[in-house]
Amino acid sequence: MKKQKDQYQAIIEGMRLIEDLLIPQVTPRVPTHIRDRARTVMQNFPTETEIKTIIDKAQRIKEPQ
């Protein structure tokens, strides 16, 4: 089973990959339709702070009382 820290890091790296797809200087040969999809995904993607908040809430719910 993956550790939560590893899963969190994977989400952040995925977000950075999508952001890179939006920058032609970083990824020059990406087709327009892929950039458009990446742009659409990023419109609703949570920020790093929001991801941390979601994880914290999930951990509190998961903890036995």
For the range 43-50, what are the long-range contacts, defined as Cβ-Cβ under 8 Å and sequence gap of 24 or more? 45/15, 45/18, 48/12, 48/15
Query: In the chain, how many domains are there?
Result: 1
Q: Are 37 and 24 in contact (CB under 8 A)?
A: no
Stated pTM of the model = 0.77
Summarize pLDDT for 24-62 with one digit per residue, the tens. 999 999 999 999 999 999 999 999 999 889 888 888 887
Amino acid sitting at position 43: Q
Domain hosting 10: range is 4-62
For the range 16-23, what are the long-range contacts, defined as Cβ-Cβ under 8 Å and sequence gap of 24 or more? 18/42, 18/45
pLDDT reported for residue 21? 96
pLDDT reported for residue 59? 81
Residues 6+ apart with CB under 8 A from 53: none
